[in-house]
Amino acid sequence: MSKAVILCVDDERMVLDSLRTQLSTSLGNNYIYEAAEDGDEALDLIRELEEENVSIVVIISDWLMPGMKGDELLIRIHEQFPKVVKIMLTGQADAAAIERAKESANLHSCLSKPWSEFELLETIKSGLSQL
């Protein structure tokens, strides 16, 4: 069986690079780390991974992105993959968007940017422990 994927979605390449570095340093080769720069790219990537029978276990998404906002993306993903751990990482989400993601996407956690690497890793681990 192939490794599971942790998918990071953010419109800032620097954020994606930072997340990938932190995750791979801390979690090692236990996962595949994928990145998408917007919601549509994330959904396309998820479809490709599903066709290859690769499971996604965690999605870390920004909220404020061009096109589709993070809460909408997480809700759409939740409809098809309810067990995926969903984490929002944002500096600008409004309270209504966070609440909507909690109610409609089973949002595991919302972390603020700039994030604490320790807090992010603990959040991921707590989410994975519930699978």
pLDDT at position 1: 56
The Cα 93–Cα 113 span in angstroms is 10
The order of strands in the sheet holding 109-112 is 31-36, 4-9, 56-61, 85-90, 109-112
Please, which pLDDT band fits residue 128 given cuts at 50, 70 and 90? very high
DSSP state of 28: G
pLDDT at position 64: 93
Express each pLDDT in 69-126 by its tens digit. Answer: 999 999 999 999 999 999 999 888 789 999 999 999 999 999 999 999 999 999 999 9
Which domains are assigned to the chain? 4-129 (3.40.50.2300)
The Cα 30–Cα 26 span in angstroms is 10
Helix and strand counts by DSSP (H, E) for the chain: 5, 5
Inter-CA distances, 63 with 3, 9, 37, 50, 101, Å: 27, 9, 12, 24, 10
pLDDT at position 91: 86
CA 105, 107, 112, 117 torsion-angle sign = negative
Express each pLDDT in 32-84 by its tens digit. Answer: 999 999 999 999 999 999 999 999 999 999 999 999 999 999 999 999 999 99
pLDDT at position 105: 97
**Residue whose entry in the numeric block shows the structure tokens 């404020």:** 64
The model carries a pTM of 0.96
CB 101 within 8 A of CB 70: yes
